Amino acid sequence: MRQGIHPEYRPVVFQDPSAEFSFITRSTIETSETIEWTDGNTYPLKRVEISAASHPYFTGKMKMVDTAGRVDRYNRRYAKKK
């Protein structure tokens, strides 16, 4: 590997404030915030809008979408005129 061309690969904390969920993993992402983790060390912090703790697919709180009404409205609007 060539020296000096690769970003730093280090532990980073990702936090989902809406679900009060955080996890630590390794990443090259650049952040300006830091957080003290449960082990007492300080790590870079990246806030995310959605994670497995708040995503409807993983939480089982999926919303049903009324597609039948949309299809009927589309057919009425773009139906062939006789």
Residues 16-38 have pLDDT tens digits of: 988 889 999 999 999 999 999 99
* 1 within a domain of the structure (yes/no): no
The pLDDT of residue 55 is above 80: no
**Mean pLDDT, range 57-78, rounded to an integer:** 73
* 53 within a domain of the structure (yes/no): yes
Q: State which residues form the domain around 31.
A: 10-77
Q: What's the pLDDT at 32? A: 95
* 56 within a domain of the structure (yes/no): yes
* 59 within a domain of the structure (yes/no): yes
**Mean pLDDT, range 53-78, rounded to an integer:** 74
Q: What's the pLDDT at 4? A: 87
Place of tokens 């904390």: 13
Q: What's the pLDDT at 19? A: 86
Count of domains in the chain?
A: 1
Contact present, 54 and 65 (Cβ < 8 Å): no
Of the candidates 73, 54, 71, the one whose C-alpha atom is nearest the C-alpha of residue 62 is 54
